[in-house]
Structures are given as structure tokens and as C-alpha cells.
């Protein structure tokens, strides 16, 4: 009977060990996977000369100018801050467009820039009368129409160059 009790005790111990397992022991003696060296991504950089991108830069500035001038025309009745922001952005883009034009087109666009600058003090006034809003909107619509007609990329693509 004693033997029988020992055998039962042994079986209970074996069952307990098999249920609980020896995960700690397994982790301690298990081989660790070798970390593979990750291959670094290959980055290729191209040094595009700015002269090659003049077309793209002009198109981008033309598009920005057109949208900002249209926005200003639509926002003439809005707040002083919005009008000022639209005006500043359109002037910045017109001046950037001008940088990419040859001498002849540069001067031609300069005339329109001067005409738009003439309304600068009025656009930046806090309170505008209805007649002032109308006059400014008319001038902006006229210059937008003419600049759009004369300085569209297809009309000036042969006149593009980079000014220093």
C-alpha cells in the first residue's frame, strides 16, 4: 500500500508539472533567433537644375495668383483681414510669376502689377464704401481677365527664363 501511495504521489507531481509546465526553464535555455540586419532603404536624389523647373514653377504661381485674385474679388464685402490676406497673396504670386519671365514680358506684367498696387491703400482700409468696393472689384476683374489672357502658360512658354 505504501508503494501504491508513492506511485499516486509521483503521478500527481508529474501531472502538476506537466500542467504548470516549465516555461521559465524553456525560455532560459531556448536559443534566441539571430536578428537579421535590416537593409537600409535606397534613396536616390536628383539635383534638378532650377532652370529645368521654371515651367512648373510658373504654372504653379499662375494658378495660385488666379485663385487668390478671384478670392479677393469674391471677398470684397468681407472682413478687412481676409481682404488683406488675399491681396498680399495675390501680389506675392504675381511678383514670383514676374521672376520667370524674360525682359519684354517682365515689363508687360509690371504694368498690371502697378495697376493692382494702386488699389493697395483702398483694399487695406478697414471700412470700404459700396462705391469703393465696386471700383476695386471692377479693376481687379479687368486685370485678372487681361493677365489671364496674356500670361497663360501656353502664351508665355517661350518667354520663360530664370532671373537672378
How much is the mean pLDDT over the chain? 83
Q: Are 98 and 106 in contact (CB under 8 A)?
A: yes
pLDDT over 80 (residue 154) = yes
Query: Mean of the pLDDT values across residues 23-47?
Result: 70
pLDDT value of residue 161: 81
C-alpha cell at 57: 514653377
Boundaries of every domain in the chain: 50-159
Q: What is the DSSP letter of 124?
A: T
pLDDT over 80 (residue 164) = no
CA distances from 61 to 2, 8, 54, 67, 90 (A): 99, 90, 10, 10, 9
Query: Mean of the pLDDT values across residues 42-61?
Result: 76
Q: How far apart are CA 23 and CA 12, in angstroms?
A: 19
pLDDT value of residue 30: 67
| Core vs surface per residue 5-41: b (16+ CB within 10 A) or e | eeeeeeeeeeeeeeeeeeeeeeeeeeeeeeeeeeeee
Nearest to 93 by CA among 125, 117, 122, 69: 69
Q: Are 72 and 86 in contact (CB under 8 A)?
A: yes
Query: Mean of the pLDDT values across residues 15-19?
Result: 63
Query: Mean of the pLDDT values across residues 44-60?
Result: 74
pLDDT over 80 (residue 38) = no
Nearest to 150 by CA among 83, 99, 104: 104
pLDDT value of residue 34: 75
Q: How confident is the model at residue 28 (pLDDT cuts 50, 70, 90)?
A: low
C-alpha cell at 78: 468681407
Q: How far apart are CA 90 and CA 70, in angstroms?
A: 9
Query: Mean of the pLDDT values across residues 88-116?
Result: 92
Q: How confident is the model at residue 16 (pLDDT cuts 50, 70, 90)?
A: low
Query: Mean of the pLDDT values across residues 100-115?
Result: 92
C-alpha cell at 90: 495675390
- Mean pLDDT highest for which of 1-5, 47-51, 52-56? 52-56
- Classified by CATH at the fold level, domain 50-159 comes out as 1.20.120
Amino acid at each position: 500500500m505504501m508503494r501504491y501511495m508513492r506511485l499516486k504521489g509521483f503521478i500527481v507531481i508529474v501531472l502538476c508539472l506537466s500542467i504548470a509546465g516549465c516555461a521559465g526553464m524553456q525560455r532560459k535555455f531556448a536559443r534566441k533567433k539571430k536578428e537579421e540586419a535590416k537593409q537600409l532603404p535606397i534613396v536616390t536624389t536628383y539635383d534638378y537644375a532650377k532652370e529645368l523647373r521654371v515651367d512648373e514653377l510658373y504654372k504653379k504661381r499662375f494658378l495660385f495668383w488666379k485663385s487668390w485674385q478671384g478670392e479677393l474679388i469674391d471677398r470684397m464685402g468681407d472682413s478687412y483681414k481676409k481682404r488683406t490676406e488675399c491681396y498680399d497673396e495675390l501680389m506675392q504670386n504675381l511678383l514670383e510669376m514676374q521672376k520667370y519671365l524674360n525682359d519684354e514680358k517682365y515689363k508687360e506684367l509690371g504694368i498690371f502689377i502697378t495697376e493692382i498696387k494702386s488699389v493697395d491703400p483702398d483694399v487695406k482700409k478697414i471700412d470700404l464704401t459700396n462705391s469703393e468696393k465696386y471700383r476695386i472689384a471692377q479693376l481687379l476683374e479687368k486685370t485678372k481677365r487681361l493677365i489671364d489672357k496674356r500670361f497663360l502658360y501656353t502664351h508665355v512658354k517661350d518667354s520663360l527664363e530664370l532671373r537672378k
